[in-house]
């Protein structure tokens, strides 16, 4: 698997893909809205996730993960040091 030049890379594992799993890259912002139910008329929003990426002036890359609008995780990647600091947010 090639992660190419994307700051955010999602690997999807699902029984929906008979030829294997899927993946895709994101530059700045990605959203996923999950619905549950039995049909188009009987579908209900279950949750929403967002993943964001910003490159700061000092060269640091900041990533944030939100669940239903609430910040859940934050990471800062330093390209020069090739180091990442990941923080789980508990409120």
Which tens digits make up the pLDDT trace of 23-75?
888 889 999 999 999 998 999 999 999 999 999 988 899 999 999 999 999 99
Please enumerate in sequence order all residues whose Cβ is within 8 A of that of 5, keeping only pairs 6 or more positions apart, or say none. Answer: 25
Structure confidence at residue 1 (pLDDT):
46
Tell me what the mean pLDDT of segment 15-22 comes to.
Answer: 78
Using CA atoms, how far apart are residues 55 and 28, in angstroms rounded to an integer? 9
The alpha carbon of 77 is separated from its chain's Cα centroid by a whole number of angstroms, namely 15
Q: What is the pTM of this model?
A: 0.84
Looking at 1-91, which runs of residues are DSSP E strands?
Answer: 8-12, 22-26, 29-37, 43-55, 60-67, 70-78, 83-88
């Amino acid at each position: 698997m090639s992660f190419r030049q994307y700051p955010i890379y999602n690997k999807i594992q699902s029984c929906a893909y008979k030829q294997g799993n899927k993946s895709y890259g994101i530059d700045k912002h990605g959203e996923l809205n999950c619905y549950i139910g039995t049909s188009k008329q009987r579908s209900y929003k279950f949750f929403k996730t967002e993943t964001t990426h910003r490159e700061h002036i000092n060269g640091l890359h900041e990533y944030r993960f939100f669940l239903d609008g609430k910040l859940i995780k934050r990471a800062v990647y330093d390209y020069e040091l090739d180091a990442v600091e990941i923080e789980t947010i508990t409120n």
